[in-house]
Structures are given as C-alpha cells and as structure tokens.
Homo-oligomer: A and B are copies of this chain.
C-alpha cells in the first residue's frame, strides 16, 4: 500500500489541475440553460444593427432643443412619422422633428428623441418642445449593446437567461457547450439494500445513491447510479472497472469501517494506472475520504455516513466536477452568505470542521443556528440550509462571530 496521505482542503482542491475536462457538443439554444460555454462567443455584428428610440416621442437633432423649457419651448416642424419596422423615409434636419415609437429606427439626421410627455403638437405640422435633450438621449446607438467583435460570453461561462437572450439577439441558435460529465455512483456495504427493498433485520436502505445523485445533478452533471457492491475487493474492482468505462468520474460511498476502506484502496490500486492521491482529508466530518486517479479519471471513496458524504461532496467533490464540466475558475458559483453564529462553537485544531446550520433572519441580517447531531443522521441535513466552515487553525467561534454559509 502507498504511503498514507492525509491532505488538507487546499491540497486536495489543488489536485483539480491534474484532471482535464469533458469534450464539447453543439446544442440548440433552447436546451442550453445552465450549460457551460465551450468557446468564447463574439458578436458577429452590431447590436442593435441600427439606432433605435427607447421611448415614444420625437426624433430630433439635440441642438434644436437646446434652451427649451416650459416657459420658453422650442418650436419644431413635424416632418413625418416612422412606423414600427419601417425604414424611415424622412430625414431630420435642424428645427425638424419626426414621430417615433419605442423601438423604432431613428431617421437619418436625428441624434436623440424628445419624450412625448415633454412635447405637444401645435397642429399637424409643428410641435412645441419643453425640455432640451442631449445627443444620444433616449436612443440606443447602433452597436451600443454589443459592437461587432465584442465578447458576448467567455468560454467556461455557465449560460444564464441573459446569455441565452444575448445569443438569440444575434440569431446564434446553436451553441457549443461542454457535455455534461457522467458520474458513476456506487454504494458499498453488505448491510445496504436497494431503497426499493425491505431491508430486513440489521440492514438499511441505500440513501447515498439518492443524495449523491441529487448533488451530482445540482452540479450540472448526469448521475449514473450503478447499484450496490458487496464488501469484497474483487467485486468492487470489477464494479469500478465498469464504472470507469462508462463514466467521467466515479463516486464510491460507504465503507466507513476500516476494513471496507482498505477494500476501496485495494480495489483501486489493482488498476495498473491507478494512483491514490489522497487517503484521508483533514476535515470533520469526512476524514476517511479517498481520492484516486485511474487513468485520467477521478475516483472518490466517500464516507458511508450520509451527512459526511454530502458535506465532502458539497465542499470538495463539487469543485472537481465543476472543473471537469468546464466551468471557468472564478465563476461566482459558490457565493457564501455572510451570517452571524447564534451560539459558541468549539472546534478541534488541525482539521477543518463543518457545522450544519439553519438560517434565521433577525432584523437586517442572517444568523446561522448550528444543527448539531451525528454525521450519520440525515435529519441534520434536512433541517439545515447550509454549512459553516471552521478553519483548521481555529479553536472555535464565539456567539455572534461573523461566518459565511455555504448554501445547500
């Protein structure tokens, strides 16, 4: 067996760099919400392609309105109107105005639009204007939204509704995105039965298959539950081999007993191109986590306790999956909510502690109420809104201490 490698969180997360990311595929824009752009997209042309009015009113040369006020309105001659979707047939000269609706194309010669509320028709051919406008006012110039060649969205950006809108504005209805990583999920343990079966005495149902599948989906990946493997090294090795052939990464949960954990390491080391990268992480809960590289794929051995497995996923596995999925580093995916602790929390030095918390609104701010309980209790997660991370060098936090909550 290789040297026993207990890493801290930063050391584990740094291992992301050693893994690649999935290939890309082309998708219809309708299907692309939440997907990650595989290549930068630039504006193929100016948006809008022509200057548009942003209000209902009169297209003018701004200079024709300078000095206008209620007491001293500017009188302009009405040279016509531009209908929606019409290329203006009139031009706007000095002292002239042309009616435009919101969104209409600005006529040549005009550089701004007087809102209709600030003007009044005198008769069919002349209007009074009560406010001056500046050049560009109430107009979106050609290319003001995106100029031809401007970056619409960088590679590695997760597509939100606004990116979909921006792509549609250019008629870019197919996008190249990273394909969603497929994550194999194996449960181990002789005491585990499929959730659809009655467990019988001394056995329990497979919970991690569902909680880890849900977390995998939330990370934008495709969970592939691969069933329950008995506590035998050969069985686990065979199951891993199949999982690795079909998936981009593999999660094995269970095996929190020392014997089973050894099976996992043994089963992985039986691959000729396997390397155990982490054998234990200095966190609680979640210490008995294993990370191996088999070929170019990550295989995780997660604790069997449901809360431990979820916490390790949320804080450590998820960043690996996001990186595999092609998300650019620094994308604000992991915004943490500032809050204050409702009570003192003790913590052991030398490891990072995760405390489940419930959020409570008090006046202007959020408070984090620790939800205590053993890491085998799923109830503690059902009653929580997130996690507070207590750094390894810290002996504990006082009531009222400022913390940041990882929401889940």
Contact = CB atoms under 8 A, between A and B. Distances in A.
Interface residues of A, number: 97
Interface stretch (A71-79, A124-132, A303-311): A303-311
Oligomer copy total: 2
Interface in A217-239: 217-218, 231
Interface in A17-54: 29-30, 33, 47-50, 52, 54
A89 to B, nearest CB: 11
A152 B382 contact: yes
A54 B105 contact: no
A80 B62 CA distance: 95
A202 B257 contact: no
B379 A145 contact: yes
A169 interface: yes
B310 A161 contact: yes
B169 A196 contact: no
A396 B231 CA distance: 64
Given A381-B162, A407-B335, A103 B211 contact: no
B376 A231 contact: no
A378 B161 CA distance: 10
A159 B238 CA distance: 34
A10 interface: no
Contacts of A52: 204, 376
A282 interface: no
Nearest to A358: B332
A146 B379 contact: yes
A340 to B, nearest CB: 11
Contacts of A5: none
Contacts of A257: 56, 84, 101-103
Given A145-B377, A165-B208, A190-B85, A198 B171 contact: yes
A338 interface: yes
Quick one: which of A33, A145, A408 has the most chain B CB within 10 A?
A145
A212 B161 CA distance: 7
A347 interface: no
Interface in A368-405: 374-379, 381-382, 384-385, 402
A310 B381 CA distance: 33
Interface in A51-108: 52, 54, 56, 83-88, 101-105
A112 interface: no
Interface of A: 29-30, 33, 47-50, 52, 54, 56, 83-88, 101-105, 116, 140, 144-146, 152-153, 160-171, 173, 189-191, 195-199, 201-215, 217-218, 231, 256-260, 304-306, 310, 332, 335, 337-338, 359, 364-366, 374-379, 381-382, 384-385, 402, 407-408
Query: Lowest 3 CB-CB distances: which A-B pairs, in order?
Result: A161-B214, A165-B211, A162-B381
